[in-house]
Amino acid sequence: MSICFDDNKKIFKLDTQRTTYMIGLTQEGYVGHVYYGARLESACAAHLLRTGEPPFTPGVLPSEKAAFLDTLPMEYPTGGVSGYRETALELLNELGQNGCELFYRSYTIEEGKPELEGLPSSFKGAAADGEVMTLRLLLEDPVLNVTVELRYSVFEKEDVITRSAVITNAADKTRTIRKAYSACLDLDNEDMELITLTGAWGRERHIERQKVRHGRTYVGSTRGYTSHQEHPFIALVTPETTQKTGSAYAMHFVYSGNFRAQAELSQWDNVRMTMGIDPDRFTWVLDPGCSFAVPECVLTYSECGLGRMSRNLHDFYRNHMIRSPWLHRERPILINNWEATYFNFDTEKLLSIVREAKKCGIEMLVMDDGWFGHRNLDDSSLGDWYVNEEKIKGGLKYLTEEVNKIGLKFGIWFEPEAISPDSDLFRAHPDWALQISGREGTLSRGQYVLDYSRKEVRDAIYDMISGILRSANIDYVKWDMNRSISDIGNLVLPPERQQEISHRYVLGVYELQERLTKDFPDLLLENCAGGGARFDPGMIYYSPQIWCSDDMDSVERLRIQEGTELAYPLSVMGAHVCCAPNHTTGRILPFETRGHVALSGTFGYELDITKIPDEDREMIQAQTQQYHQFHSLIADGDYYRIHSWNDEQPYDCWGTVAKDGSEALFTYVQVLAKPNQHSKKIRLDGLDPQGVYELRTYGSETKNPMNGEIMAHIEDGVYTGEELMKAGILAGAVPGDYRSRLWHLVRK
């Protein structure tokens, strides 16, 4: 059993394959954190709760209560009564006073994983009995008459523990939630460093690492969605932590709205990690008899560096978060017309792209923005989800039938959460946009945001979208959201509930995507938000892939994809081969390199295939064949980061290895060439040390400068896994920047 309770020591012990998490109870009923780390075979760690040293528990020395609560490692600390570190829960009574104190009442241990109503959350999946178990701890504030059920689900094989909470008002008076985090973890400081994923539009999820200093350091979003700028992930690591060595404690939030992820170093040299809904723009009025479900937080610990941390999370999301039937299927190789045409397209232009795409092995056309209303620029028609037949001559059904006749599937773009002032929908329902009474609405990208906290708004939008999907043979939907949310208010909710709108909005998005996936179960849904602004675990519950970034420059994508791969399986990352010069950076990169970098994601194209050079068009055929050859290995294999070009040497290398070690694919990108450059030794990882591998190289060829003849790849041959991992492989120098190679290894 992965969860047990020692009644004598008052210790709960939660075990995964390699880790142990321990919770202890004080004599007063406070719920304290005892241990999280490498697996312990015994439960003799009750002393780690530090209740036998000053400041003593209130039951021993009542005058020390304030000091005790300020030092006790807590599982779910509360505010207002005592304790001055970051809290997880703050409640207001009917007088508006902030105070809450929780005491343990009971527990249950059960097999499986309960759902969270209205929220995405992990599930048991195909795991056998006993591999996923849940601990429910019931806590109570007897003064407020409020209960909090803390939920811990143990995913044994993946070394993951998820946390969530359900807050219930059992009183006959209203309670108000001012803050409700999902997880708190108190750790001893080991000279900790904090890893976060930060950036901006076009450079999302760059890895940053900094020393944890006294006080509070946090990342978060108040933009209404996850954001380009910050990501709901943090990891505390020891200074020596690398891909292979050192300790890593990670938290990842299963939520798609405002969040706060924080590390606090206290005066006692302890670090408190917290994760949850951002409290600055959130309250929730809890009526008598009502409950509030706190979103889920994913925890994992690795004593073998960031590599194992990443593989834990990848396995967890593949096995227990992504529900789509497309999870293990080969996704159709798509071509999106956005950077090929922008708004300037019609039926014949799209069909000309389709005809050329079919010759190259591309399998689906995605029609992007501009097909609806009277939209020819980004200043109109959002919300008018009916076909513009001046562009799509013959209608959508005709277009899809013609695309299907040529041999491609068809996909379509929506931005369901937006409304243009110049739209029939806005003229009919101006109150459907989020708005602050008496203030002029704030435009961004020429649009407002629909009030998804209102059911009539959600129903109207869904009726339009589902009508389009039923009108033609549509296999794929790209769901976009292109602006941060502002003017968060409406003319419906009472004043005391206006601060609920941000969370209600996110619940509304979840409800619509739930309806979409249930009504169209075979639909391939890809989420997007101005690129990667809503790339989070909540979204992968509904869509098996998310558009990674609007910046498709392969060099920029190296950093973006490295940060994304730190937490997500590669099969989730939307990645395309783009135009040259790149439309974002102006950089010109080899077509081959663009293909190799995009191959690590869902893979597709975003360019005008009718205008590219013949040499590039011919290369597409080889790239599409490589996608089919390597898809399952990339999508389902174990990820290993070999080198980052952020480090001293200007090259990048990563790979995926089959679970049984029988096959591997590594990608090498030479970002910057050097004069008088020699080959590099690259030590691979994840292989069977005793296995013998045959290596084949795909990629940039080296020519003899004396006669122009192609030189043989010096690295092709037969090697042992031990040799490749310990001694390394020679990456022969190739003249020129941005050259790339694939190394494919098959165990003989």
Here the tokens at position 645 are 């070009």
Helix, strand, or coil here: 333?
Answer: coil
What whole-number distance in Å separates Cα of residue 279 and Cα of residue 629? 47
Owner of token pair 């296995």: 691
Query: In this structure, which amino acid lies at residue 587?
Result: R
- The size of the chain, in residues, is 748
221 close to 529: Cβ distance less than 8 angstroms: no
Neighbouring-strand partners of residue 237: 193, 248
| 496, two tokens | 């005391």
What is the pairing mode between strands 573-574 and 545-547? Answer: parallel
Cα 718 to chain centroid, rounded: 38
CA-based nearest residue to 537, from 149, 257, 183, 217: 257
Spell out a b/e string for 390-427, using b for 16 or more CB atoms within 10 Å of the CB, else e: ebbeeebeebbebbbeeebbbbbbbbbbbbbbbbebbe
Pairing outcome for strands 132-141 and 146-155: antiparallel
Q: Which of 550, 553, 616, 636 does the annotation list as catalytic?
A: 550
DSSP secondary structure string, 673-699? Answer: --TT---EEE---SS-TT-EEEEEEEE
Q: Is the dihedral of CA 573, 225, 367, 522 positive or negative?
A: positive
Which residues lie closer than 8 Å to 14 by C-beta, 6 or more apart?
Answer: 2, 3, 20, 21, 22, 23, 135, 152, 154, 161
The answer to whether the beta carbons of residues 379 and 446 sit under 8 Å apart is yes
Is 654 in contact with 642 (CB distance < 8 Å)? yes
| Strands (E) located in 71-145 | 89-92, 103-111, 132-141
**C-alpha torsion 100→101→107→111, nearest 10:** 40
Annotation says 287 is catalytic: no
Question: What is the sign of the dihedral through the CA atoms of 599, 600, 602 and 605?
Answer: negative
Q: Verify whether residue 480 is a known catalytic residue.
A: yes
19-25 β-sheet, strand order: 3-6, 11-15, 19-25, 31-38
CA–CA distance, 13 with 3 (Å, rounded to integer): 6
Residue type, 107: Y
List 480, 551, 616, 685, catalytic entry: 480
Query: Residue 606 pairs with which residues in a beta bridge?
Result: 578
User: Which residues, in sequence order, are bridge partners of residue 138?
Assistant: 106, 149
Q: Is 24 helix (H, G, I), strand (E, B) or coil?
A: strand
Which residues form the catalytic set?
Answer: 480, 550
